[in-house]
C-alpha cells in the first residue's frame, strides 16, 4: 500500500518504543483523567449520536434548541442539530460578558514588539461595530466575504463579525498570491474583501493591498467593496468608491449588534485547501457542529482552563488558526496570544521570549517550526523563563521522534505532556490525539482517537487491518459534528474525494496509517498527490499547472522529496519548449520559474529543485511514471522496471547524469 515516500518514516517509527506517562502533577489537575476519559469513550460507544447531542446541549448556547441530533437521510451529506438555531459569535463573546467581561481575550504582539490587548467586552464591541459596518455595506446572511489579512486581532474580529451576521467568511492566507486570491474569490462568489494595507514579516512588508488590487484587476468581478485596515501605514493605492478604511467604517458604528440567529447547518466558513487536482477545493463548514468540535477539543486535548494563556502559532489562513485561534479558545472564554511576524526575528529566541513575556501556558505549533528552531540550538530557549508552560502541542504533519524528543527535553523540561494532534481542514477539529492527563505518549504517534471519533485503518477492500504495524488507509467510520459538509459548489467532488472509495460507508482521509500493538495510530503521510511542505498542503498538480502557465514550459511533473526542516520539499521536472536549457541559462530559467510559481500560487509553493530534461518518463500508454520520479528526487537507486517506458534512456538525464 501507499507510496515509497512513507518508507523512511515507517522505519524510524517502527524502532520507536519510548513511552511517556503524564506526570502525577498534571493528572491531579487535569480536566480528564483516565477514568473520566474511559467514561466518555463508553458513552460514545453505547450511543454515538446521543453522546454528541448531550454535549451539544451542554457546551453550546442555543436560541432554538434542536430536536433531531443527526439527519442521515441524505448521507454522506450529514446534517447535525439541523432544526436548532444559534450564532457562533454569541457563543464566543456574549456568553462570557457577564462572567469574564474584563478578562483578556486576545493578547497581541507584533514583530517590532508593539503590543495591545482586548478584553472580552472590548472584543465584543469591536466585533459588533464591524458587523454593523458590514451590514451598512449591504452584506447579508449567506453572502461570502473574503478575509486576506495579517495575523492581527482584526483578522479574528473580521471572522467573528461575519459570524455575527451570518455572512460566510473565506480566509485566504496572506502568503498566497494575487492569482490564488482571485481564484478563491471567484469560486466563492464573494461580495467583499477585508484586507490591510500590508503586514509585517521578517522585517519586510507583505503587500496585501497590492495583491487585492491585482486580483481585482484580473477578475473577481463579484467584489463590490474592499475594507482596508491601516496596519503598516505605508502608502498604498486607494480606489475611491470601492475602497474603505476600516477605521472610518468603524467610527460610525454602534457597538451593539443583534446577532443573526442561523440554523445549525448554516455555513460558517469556506476554507480552500489543496487536493489531487489543480483546483483548490472550498471546504464548507457548518456553524454548530463545527463550533462544538472546536470547543470540546480545546477542553479534551489542551486541557484548557480559565487561567491559561493559549498560544497557537498558526496563521488564521489555515484551519488550525480557525479552530484554535479564532473559535475554539474564545468559545471557552480563554485568553489567547496572537503574534504577527517570523519566529526568527530578531533571533531564534523569539517564540520563547513571547512565551515568557506573555506567560504562555499552552503552546501549539508545527513540527516544521520545531525542527527549524531545534537546528538553531538549545541556547535560545535557555535564555528565557518557560516555567509557566504546562502543555505542548504539535500539528500539521508527522513529527519525527528526534524533533519530538527535543521539544520534550528542551522546551518541556522532560515534564510537560506533548499532544501530537492529527486532523485536517476537512475534519474541522482534532480527531486523533492524546488526552494529556490520561493517555501516555510515544514520540511520533498521535496516539488514539478522541471520544466519539471512530477511526480505523483499512485495506484496499475496506477491511480493517488487524495486524500490528501493517499500513492501510485511514478512515473514519461514523459521522462527527465538525466534519465538512461539502465542497463549495461541487458536491459530486465531495462524495468522490471522501466517500466513494469504500462505497460511501466511511470518510476517507487521504492519509495512510498503521496501528501498533497498543492500538496507537502512526500517520505515514498522504496517499494522494498532495505534498506537505512545512505543514502546508500543496497539490502537485497545482504546482504543475503554475509551471506550464510559463511561456517557456511545455510540460512539468512535480513530486516531493524529504526535507530536514520543511518535512517535504517540492521537486519539479521541467520540459521546455525548444532546446533543453543548460549551464547559466538553466540557472537563470530555474530562478525565473521559482518566482513565477510564487506569483501564481505563493512563496510556499516555490520548487526547491528544478531539473530540466528532454522528456518525462512515460509508459507506452502515455502515463507519467511518478514513482520513478520520486525515487530520482530522493536520490535513491532506481529499482522500478523501466523497460515499460517509452523512452528508457531518459532516466539518466532525469537523474542529472546526462
Ligand atoms: C497531515 C492541518 C501526521 C495529514 C490540521 C493530514 C498530520 C494533513 C498531522 C491535513 C499529525 C496533520 N501527524 N500528519 N499530527 N496533522 N497531518 O488540512 O497528512 O492543513 O491529512 O490540516 O496534514 O492538513 P490540513
Pocket-testing residue among 275, 523, 604, ligand 1, by greatest number of atoms within 8 A of Cβ:
523
CA 395 to ligand 1 centroid distance, Å: 7
Closest CA to 333 of 112, 520, 500, 102: 102
CA dist., res. 214 & res. 220, Å (int): 10
Closest CA to 456 of 443, 470, 442, 439: 470
CA dist., res. 568 & res. 15, Å (int): 22
Retrieve residue 224's grid coordinates. 463590490
656 is in an annotated binding site: no
CA 586 to ligand 1 centroid distance, Å: 35
Radius of gyration (Cα) for the chain, nearest Å?
Answer: 24
- CA-CA distances (angstroms) from residue 47 to 52, 53, 68, 178, 420? 9, 10, 14, 48, 27
CA dist., res. 171 & res. 189, Å (int): 13
pLDDT(165) > 60: yes
> What are 31-90's pLDDT values in tens digits?
999 999 999 999 999 999 999 999 999 999 999 999 999 999 999 999 999 999 999 999
534 is in an annotated binding site: yes
CA 314 to ligand 1 centroid distance, Å: 13
* pTM over the 0.90 mark: yes
Retrieve residue 340's grid coordinates. 504577527
Query: Residue of the nearest CA to atom 6 in ligand 1?
Result: 424
Residue with cell 454593523: 132
Retrieve residue 518's grid coordinates. 497498543
Query: Residue of the nearest CA to atom 12 in ligand 1?
Result: 396
Residue with cell 517506458: 645
Index of the ligand 1 atom closest to the CA of residue 422: 15
CA 25 to ligand 1 centroid distance, Å: 30
Query: Residue of the nearest CA to atom 8 in ligand 1?
Result: 424
CA dist., res. 622 & res. 367, Å (int): 38
Residue with cell 448531550: 54
pLDDT on residue 17: 80
Handedness of CA 355, 430, 124, 191 (dihedral sign): positive
394 is in an annotated binding site: no
> What are 521-561's pLDDT values in tens digits?
999 999 988 999 999 999 999 999 999 999 999 999 999 99
Query: Residue of the nearest CA to atom 5 in ligand 1?
Result: 424
Q: Are the C-beta atoms of 124 and 94 separated by less than 8 Å?
A: yes
pLDDT on residue 620: 82
pLDDT on residue 42: 98
pLDDT(4) > 70: no
CA 423 to ligand 1 centroid distance, Å: 5
pLDDT(593) > 50: yes
Instruction: Please tell me what DSSP assigns to residue 432.
Output: B
CA 421 to ligand 1 centroid distance, Å: 8
By residue count, the chain amounts to: 658
CA 535 to ligand 1 centroid distance, Å: 7
SS3 call for 626: helix
Index of the ligand 1 atom closest to the CA of residue 425: 18
359 is in an annotated binding site: no
Q: Averaged over 628-633, what is the pLDDT?
A: 93
Displacement of CA 40 from its chain's centroid (Å): 27
Index of the ligand 1 atom closest to the CA of residue 526: 19
421 is in an annotated binding site: yes
Pocket-testing residue among 424, 512, 526, ligand 1, by greatest number of atoms within 8 A of Cβ:
424
Handedness of CA 549, 550, 553, 556 (dihedral sign): negative
pLDDT(2) > 60: no
Q: Print the SS3 string covering 433-472.
A: CCCCCCCCECCCCCECECCCCCEEEECCCCCECCCCCCCE
CA 523 to ligand 1 centroid distance, Å: 9
pLDDT on residue 492: 97
422 is in an annotated binding site: yes
CA dist., res. 433 & res. 452, Å (int): 13
203 is in an annotated binding site: yes
Pocket-testing residue among 176, 283, 396, ligand 1, by greatest number of atoms within 8 A of Cβ:
396
Q: Are the C-beta atoms of 535 and 366 separated by less than 8 Å?
A: yes
pLDDT on residue 621: 78
CA 78 to ligand 1 centroid distance, Å: 23
pLDDT(431) > 80: yes
Query: Residue of the nearest CA to atom 4 in ligand 1?
Result: 397
Cis peptide, bond prior to residue 346, ω within 30 of zero: yes
202 is in an annotated binding site: yes
Closest CA to 226 of 194, 251, 252: 194
Index of the ligand 1 atom closest to the CA of residue 273: 18
Query: Residue of the nearest CA to atom 10 in ligand 1?
Result: 424
365 is in an annotated binding site: no
> What are 283-309's pLDDT values in tens digits?
999 999 999 999 999 999 999 999 999
Percentage of the chain modeled with pLDDT above 90? 90
Query: Residue of the nearest CA to atom 24 in ligand 1?
Result: 424
Task: Give the binding-site residues of ligand 1, using a 6 Å CB cut-off.
Answer: 273, 318-320, 395-398, 420-425, 446, 509-511, 523, 526, 532, 537
Q: Are the C-beta atoms of 287 and 266 separated by less than 8 Å?
A: yes
**For residue 15, what pLDDT band results from cuts at 50, 70 and 90?**
low
Q: Which residues of 555-570 are buried (b: 16+ CB within 10 A; e: fewer)?
A: bbbbbbbebebbbbbb
CA dist., res. 470 & res. 10, Å (int): 10
Displacement of CA 156 from its chain's centroid (Å): 16
Index of the ligand 1 atom closest to the CA of residue 420: 15
Query: Residue of the nearest CA to atom 3 in ligand 1?
Result: 398
398 is in an annotated binding site: yes
> What are 85-104's pLDDT values in tens digits?
999 999 999 999 999 999 99
Query: Residue of the nearest CA to atom 7 in ligand 1?
Result: 397
pLDDT on residue 326: 97
CA dist., res. 49 & res. 53, Å (int): 6
> What are 330-382's pLDDT values in tens digits?
999 999 999 999 999 999 999 999 999 999 999 999 999 999 999 999 999 99
441 is in an annotated binding site: no
pLDDT on residue 190: 98
Quote the strand ranges of 341-454, DSSP E: 362-365, 391-395, 418-421
Going across the sheet that includes 269-273, the strands are: 243-245, 225-229, 192-196, 144-148, 168-171, 269-273, 281-285, 486-487
CA 445 to ligand 1 centroid distance, Å: 13
pLDDT on residue 1: 37
Residue with cell 508552560: 389
> What are 272-283's pLDDT values in tens digits?
998 877 788 999
CA dist., res. 162 & res. 135, Å (int): 10
CA dist., res. 574 & res. 552, Å (int): 10
CA 192 to ligand 1 centroid distance, Å: 30
pLDDT on residue 10: 47
Of 269 and 641, the one with more pLDDT: 269
CA 280 to ligand 1 centroid distance, Å: 16
Quote the strand ranges of 316-404, DSSP E: 335-340, 362-365, 391-395
> What are 224-248's pLDDT values in tens digits?
999 999 999 999 999 999 999 999 9
> Residue 384 phi/psi, 5° resolution?
-125, 155
Amino acid at each position: 500500500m501507499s507510496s515509497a515516500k512513507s518508507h523512511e518514516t515507517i522505519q524510524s517509527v517502527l524502532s520507536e518504543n519510548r513511552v511517556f506517562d503524564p506526570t502525577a502533577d498534571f493528572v491531579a489537575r487535569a480536566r480528564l483523567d483516565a477514568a473520566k476519559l474511559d467514561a466518555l469513550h463508553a458513552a460514545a460507544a453505547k450511543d454515538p449520536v446521543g453522546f454528541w447531542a448531550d454535549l451539544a446541549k451542554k457546551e453550546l448556547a442555543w436560541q432554538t434548541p434542536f430536536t433531531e441530533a443527526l439527519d442521515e437521510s441524505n448521507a454522506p451529506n450529514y446534517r447535525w442539530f439541523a432544526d436548532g438555531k444559534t450564532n457562533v459569535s454569541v457563543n464566543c463573546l456574549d456568553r462570557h460578558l457577564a462572567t469574564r467581561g474584563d478578562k483578556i481575550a486576545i493578547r497581541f504582539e507584533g514583530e517590532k514588539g508593539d503590543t495591545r490587548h482586548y478584553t472580552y467586552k472590548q472584543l465584543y464591541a469591536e466585533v459588533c461595530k464591524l458587523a454593523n459596518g458590514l451590514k451598512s455595506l449591504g452584506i447579508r446572511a449567506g453572502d461570502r466575504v473574503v478575509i486576506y489579512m495579517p495575523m492581527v486581532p482584526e483578522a479574528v474580529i473580521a471572522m467573528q463579525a461575519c459570524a455575527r451576521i451570518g455572512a460566510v467568511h473565506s480566509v485566504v492566507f496572506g502568503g498566497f498570491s494575487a492569482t490564488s486570491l482571485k481564484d478563491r474569490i471567484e469560486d466563492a462568489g464573494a461580495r467583499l474583501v477585508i484586507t490591510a494595507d500590508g503586514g509585517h514579516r521578517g522585517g519586510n512588508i507583505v503587500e496585501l493591498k497590492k495583491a487585492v488590487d491585482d486580483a481585482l484587476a484580473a477578475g473577481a468581478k463579484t467584489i463590490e467593496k474592499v475594507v482596508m485596515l491601516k496596519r503598516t501605514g505605508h502608502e498604498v493605492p486607494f480606489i475611491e468608491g470601492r475602497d474603505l478604511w476600516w477605521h472610518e467604517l468603524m467610527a460610525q458604528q454602534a457597538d451593539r449588534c443583534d446577532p443573526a440567529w442561523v440554523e445549525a447547518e448554516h455555513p460558517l466558513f469556506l476554507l480552500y485547501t489543496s487536493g489531487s487536482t489543480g483546483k483548490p477545493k472550498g471546504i464548507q463548514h457548518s456553524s454548530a457542529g463545527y463550533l462544538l468540535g472546536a470547543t470540546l477539543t480545546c477542553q479534551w486535548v489542551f486541557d484548557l482552563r480559565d487561567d491559561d494563556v493559549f498560544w497557537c502559532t498558526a496563521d488564521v489562513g489555515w484551519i488550525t488558526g480557525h479552530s484554535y485561534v479564532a473559535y475554539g479558545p474564545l468559545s471557552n472564554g480563554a485568553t489567547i496570544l496572537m503574534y504577527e511576524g517570523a519566529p526568527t526575528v530578531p533571533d531564534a529566541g523569539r517564540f520563547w521570549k513571547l512565551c515568557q513575556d506573555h506567560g504562555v501556558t499552552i503552546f501549539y505549533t508545527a513540527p516544521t517550526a520545531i525542527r527549524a528552531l531545534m537546528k538553531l540550538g538549545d541556547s535560545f530557549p535557555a535564555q528565557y523563563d518557560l516555567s509557566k508552560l504546562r502543555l505542548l502541542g504539535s500539528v500539521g504533519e508527522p513529527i519525527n521522534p528526534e524533533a519530538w524528543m527535543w521539544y520534550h527535553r528542551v522546551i518541556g523540561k522532560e515534564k510537560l505532556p506533548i499532544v501530537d494532534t492529527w486532523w485536517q481542514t476537512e475534519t474541522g477539529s482534532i480527531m486523533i490525539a492524546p488526552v494529556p492527563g490520561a493517555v501516555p505518549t510515544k514520540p511520533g504517534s498521535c496516539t488514539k482517537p478522541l471520544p466519539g471519533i471512530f477511526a480505523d485503518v483499512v485495506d484496499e477492500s475496506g477491511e480493517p487491518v488487524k495486524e500490528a504495524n501493517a499500513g492501510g488507509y485511514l478512515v473514519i467510520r461514523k459521522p462527527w459534528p465538525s466534519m465538512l459538509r461539502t465542497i463549495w459548489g461541487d458536491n459530486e467532488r465531495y462524495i468522490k474525494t471522501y466517500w466513494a472509495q469504500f462505497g460511501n460507508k466511511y470518510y476517507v482521509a487521504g492519509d495512510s496509517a498503521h496501528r501498533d500493538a497498543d492500538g496507537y495510530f502512526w500517520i505515514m503521510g498522504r496517499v494522494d498527490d498532495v505534498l506537505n511542505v512545512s505543514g502546508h498542503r500543496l497539490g502537485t498538480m497545482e504546482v504543475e499547472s503554475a509551471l506550464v502557465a510559463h511561456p517557456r514550459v511545455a510540460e512539468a511533473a512535480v513530486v516531493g522529496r524529504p526535507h530536514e526542516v520543511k518535512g517535504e520539499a517540492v521537486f519539479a521536472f521541467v520540459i521546455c519548449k525548444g532546446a533543453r536549457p543548460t549551464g547559466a541559462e538553466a540557472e537563470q530559467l530555474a530562478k525565473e520559474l521559482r518566482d513565477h510559481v510564487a506569483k501564481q500560487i505563493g512563496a510556499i509553493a516555490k520548487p526547491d529543485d528544478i531539473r530540466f530534461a528532454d522528456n518525462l518518463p512515460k509508459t507506452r500508454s502515455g502515463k507519467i511514471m511518478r514513482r520513478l520520479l520520486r525515487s530520482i528526487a530522493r536520490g535513491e537507486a532506481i529499482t522500478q522496471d523501466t523497460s515499460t517506458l517509452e523512452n528508457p534512456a531518459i532516466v539518466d538525464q532525469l537523474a542529472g547524469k546526462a
